[in-house]
Structure formats: structure tokens, C-alpha cells
A and B are shown apart, each in its own frame.
Chain A
């Protein structure tokens, strides 16, 4: 699938990023080149190969169901941009 054009509008909307129109073309070009690079993978036969998410075999450890975290609101909110009475505030969402 060489020369695939990315729908940059769609992808940037999904990522909640807005692109500076001046650099739009460059980003498009960069991404197409990255995709060309990535397409090199297609030359490899992976028909019966299992995908690998983690480098080592292993299974999820289970945590005992005990309350250990004590929340200090002052600490957890010390870097919060906007709060009121403990709530985080964002511009009003109209549903």
C-alpha cells in the first residue's frame, strides 16, 4: 500500500490535535515517508506468527482487595489548573 495518503484531518481530530496550516504539508509528507518506511514490514511473511504484546511470557498478577491508598486532596490537586470545592472544572459541556 505504498503512497497511501493519510486522512490527516480525521487522524488529528481523533487525537485532538490541531495542526498549524503552515506545517500541514510538511507533516503530511513526513507521515507518508514514515508509512513508506513502515511498509517495509510487508515484505516479511508473518502468516502463522502470533502477535507479541509483551517481550516475556507471563500472566497478570492479582492484587489483594485491600484499601491502601489514602488520598490527600491537597497533594493530588497541587498541579491542577482549575478546581473548586474539590471538583475539577472544565468549560461547560452541553449534551
Chain B
């Protein structure tokens, strides 16, 4: 892989004075302009402002005041509010919405000196697994443009895979970082719930959403994560305790990462193409000194229904604020208040969003609350307990990230149930609030296959470390789609 594609590589070149941030940024912008028409990964570009940011970064580097991210261009999923660029959330509802404030994640990365290239395409309001529900058109997988890149952070993943950004941010509610990372041959980390602030991150499902990095490799992901995490007083669900300590450089407890016991859960959905890839990764890890055991996650199959009820319920109310009164889309010439609300919402939201609002409203409604919402919450606790039981015996859990490689565009658009089943490996992790990472572990028909590691809460360092180890002795993560060269 061209050194100029990764954060680590760019960092080196910047520090050596081989190239300036301004030059790097201009290169990316040029590539975006020429290639993104085929991929559609960006919704809005930051043009001159990014050049300005790059120039400031160059000055900081010259002064010796650079951080690990200074001067590095980054693409942000269009779900993070930015003050000077629209934040659309992939929706007509917010097509021209300009927030009066920056999300905490945006501020943190800007303060670290990262250069904001633009906002990336995504499934509308983060609801989807293929980036086909965006108002701004579907995103195409750089490995095969007739395939989906995954969702909902499809734009971010496609941009990085297509070499239109060295790294990107995404959000993950049921797999929306890990699945696109898997489909695009990238490394995507969904951190422990509460370690990255949700302030300014447009809410889909509040108790499940987490922001995280999508990068070419684990080292880059670790760097990006270290700048994203941290207690935020503006987010009540942000964790303030010293319970977690994320250290990439200072592996004080190096033995923590050796001779790991890795659990393999028995989950249905295994297909032959994945079995091969998984056996490969198993072989490599055993070679590195780790061992494997079978584990049970007895309630795991109930995680899809539990997830859909909880996520839809929370989303149905999180989206009540979109009413055409204070911001966002408003229908033409509303006749009365009812008309304003109903037409604004019906015209502003896409089909999948409406479907989930209806499901969520139903699950919370009188007569159905106990059977759906309350039941889903109880199942959630059982799933969380299953993981706790497992982690008493293992350090990590390994699963495929997705049941298949990237499917074709429109293949599942009319089949929401089958689309939902895509998330079987990723969703349980969000329910339990645990961290998980997806890394490329093979190819089938030239399409990337992703493997997922799950760790107990606050063990991101373990995830990064084992992924890094694997990536030292393999080079799946270094392969680039031919269109990106």
C-alpha cells in the first residue's frame, strides 16, 4: 500500500517534510472531484476551508506542535453536526440544515489538527445496512460498483477504500461501522458505549449509537479513536470513570495481549464462504500463540428482534422533532398545523425511516408496550449477561462480521427482513454496549471478507492490539481496489 494512504504513512511524510498538508489535501480533493461521481461517497465538500485548515496544520508542524493527527485529512459521516457545512444525515429533511454548533467529535478532531475534507453519504438517519436509503443516492462499493458498500456509514467506508480520504468517522448502532468496513476491506472500530461523546451526533437509537473510526488498518483506527474518546459533560451517557484507560503506545501490561483465549460462538448463519476465511484467521492467530474455545451465546438469535424493537422505539421518538417548525424541510403552503406536520414528515422522510418510525410507535403504544418494548429490554439484559458469562472464560470473541460479502445494489431493497438479518453478528454487541472491531481477513470473488473481534467493555486496546498483530503477518488490509490505484 502506498504510504500516502494511511494515517501513519501520511504522518511520517508530513514530519519528514516530504509533503505538506496543503498538498495532501489538494490531492484528495482532486481525486474526489474526478472519481466520486462513480462512487457518490461525499455529500458536501469542505473546499477552501479545508485548504485553510491544512495551511494552519502545516504551520503547527513547522513549529513542532503537531499531534498524531495534525494535517491529516479526514472525512466525517454526515451525521455529525458542523457549524459551517450542512449536516444532512442523508435525508431530504435536513438537506439545507446548518447547525449552530459543532459536534463534540468534530471539535475534538479539529482541535487535534485534522483537516475536514467533507461530509460523507449515509443511509438516511443511519437506518440501513447498504447505503441505499440516502436521499442523495446510493453509494457504490469501490471493489465492485454494482455492489453496496454497506451501511449506514457506507460513504465513509467507500471514501477510504477508494482512496478519497485516508480515514473517516462513522457511527454504529447495529453494525453501521463494522459492516461497511467488512464490505470495503477496511478496519472499523465500534467502541464501548459511552466512551465517545454523542453530543452533536444526530440520534438514531440513543442507547445503542456510538461513533468510531473507519481506517485502512488497526494502528490508524487506534490513533483516531484516541482522539475521539473522552468524557463530555454535555452527554449524560458519557462515561466519566477511570474505569477505562486506552493506551496504544504504552502497553504497560504487555502480557495482557499475549496467549489470548478466543471464543467461537455457535451461531447459525455460517456459510461456506465465511467458514474458509474464518478458519484462515484462526490458523494465523493460533500461530501467534492464541488459542480457541467454543462458547455459547444462548440468546443471540433473539438479538435481532430485540434490537429492532429497541432501536425503532427510540428512533421513533428521536425523530419527532422533525416537524418543519424550527429547522429543516417544510412542506409548501401548509393549510393548517396538522397539514404542516403530516406533509413535512411524509415528504421529508424516506420509506425505511417511515417504516422504523411506525414499528417503533407501535412497540411503544398502549396495549403493545409490555409485549414488545419491555420484552425487548429484558431480552437485551439476557444477551448482555450471555457476553459476561463468556468473558469469564475468554478474552475475545471471534465471529464473521457479516453473513456474506457485499451484495448487489437493490438486491435486498424490497426485502427488509432479509436486510435486517445481515446484522446478526453485529447487533448483539450494541445491545450489550461492548466494543468490537472488524478487520479484513480474506477475499472471495475479489470481494473483501471481514472478521469481527468482540471484547469486554473498555478493552479497545485488546482489540487494536490483536488486530495489529494479525495485520503484521497478513496483508489483506493492504489490498486496494483496482479503481483506487
A interface residues (Cβ-Cβ under 8 A, vs B): 1, 6, 8, 11-12, 14-19, 23, 27, 30-31, 33-34, 37-44, 46, 49-56, 58, 60-61, 63, 72, 75-82, 88, 90-93
Tell me if B207 and A16 are in contact (CB < 8 A): no
| Contact partners of B233 in chain A: CB under 8 A | 61, 63
- B282-323 Cβ-contact flags toward A at 8 Å (1 or 0): 000000000000000001011011101100000010000001
B31 within 8 A of A: no
| Contact partners of B334 in chain A: CB under 8 A | 90-91
A-B contact sample (18 more), CB < 8 A, given A15-B357, A23-B351, A90-B340: A12-B358, A18-B342, A18-B346, A27-B358, A31-B355, A38-B309, A38-B372, A40-B301, A40-B304, A41-B302, A46-B379, A49-B381, A61-B240, A63-B233, A75-B100, A80-B326, A90-B334, A91-B339
Within 8 A of A (CB), among B338-352: 338-343, 345-346, 349, 351
Tell me if B379 and A91 are in contact (CB < 8 A): no
Tell me if B379 and A34 are in contact (CB < 8 A): no
* Given A56-B193, A79-B96, A27:B372 Cβ within 8 A: no
Tell me if A17 and B207 are in contact (CB < 8 A): no
| Contact partners of A46 in chain B: CB under 8 A | 375, 378-379, 382
Tell me if B381 and A41 are in contact (CB < 8 A): no
* Given A54-B207, A79-B96, A37:B420 Cβ within 8 A: yes
By Cβ-Cβ distance, the 7 closest A-B pairs, closest first, are A55-B433, A51-B377, A46-B378, A75-B100, A81-B330, A52-B381, A79-B327
* A interface: dominant SS: loop
B417 within 8 A of A: yes
B328 within 8 A of A: yes
| Contact partners of B431 in chain A: CB under 8 A | 55
* Given A52-B380, A56-B239, A63-B233, A17:B340 Cβ within 8 A: no
| Contact partners of B374 in chain A: CB under 8 A | 51
B237 within 8 A of A: yes
B279 within 8 A of A: no
Tell which of B237, B308, B339 touches A54, judged by Cβ atoms closer than 8 Å: B237
- B218-238 Cβ-contact flags toward A at 8 Å (1 or 0): 000000000000000100110
User: Interface centre among B100, B194, B384, B416, by most A CB within 10 Å?
Assistant: B100
A–B Cβ pairs within 8 angstroms, 9 of them? A19-B354, A31-B359, A40-B301, A41-B309, A44-B299, A46-B378, A61-B236, A81-B328, A88-B325
Closest to B371 in A: A1
Tell me if B358 and A91 are in contact (CB < 8 A): no
Tell me if B357 and A91 are in contact (CB < 8 A): no
Tell me if A34 and B381 are in contact (CB < 8 A): no
CA distance A88 to B340 in the complex (A): 13
CA distance A30 to B312 in the complex (A): 14
Tell me if B357 and A17 are in contact (CB < 8 A): yes
Tell me if A16 and B417 are in contact (CB < 8 A): no
**Number of B residues, CB within 8 Å of A:** 72
Tell me if B239 and A41 are in contact (CB < 8 A): no
| Contact partners of B341 in chain A: CB under 8 A | 16
Closest to B338 in A: A16
CA distance A69 to B480 in the complex (A): 47
B406 within 8 A of A: no
Tell me if A16 and B355 are in contact (CB < 8 A): no
| Contact partners of A27 in chain B: CB under 8 A | 354-355, 358
Tell me if B308 and A34 are in contact (CB < 8 A): yes
* Given A11-B358, A41-B305, A79-B98, A33:B337 Cβ within 8 A: no
Tell me, rounded to whole Å, the shortest Cβ–Cβ distance linking B446 to chain A: 33
Tell me if A91 and B308 are in contact (CB < 8 A): no
CA distance A21 to B15 in the complex (A): 61
User: Interface centre among B194, B240, B362, by most A CB within 10 Å?
Assistant: B362
Tell me if B346 and A17 are in contact (CB < 8 A): yes
Tell me if B193 and A55 are in contact (CB < 8 A): yes
Tell me if B378 and A50 are in contact (CB < 8 A): yes
Tell me, rounded to whole Å, the shortest Cβ–Cβ distance linking B269 to chain A: 14
B253 within 8 A of A: no
CA distance A27 to B98 in the complex (A): 32
Tell me if B327 and A81 are in contact (CB < 8 A): yes
* Given A33-B417, A40-B302, A81-B325, A49:B378 Cβ within 8 A: yes
| Contact partners of B420 in chain A: CB under 8 A | 34, 37
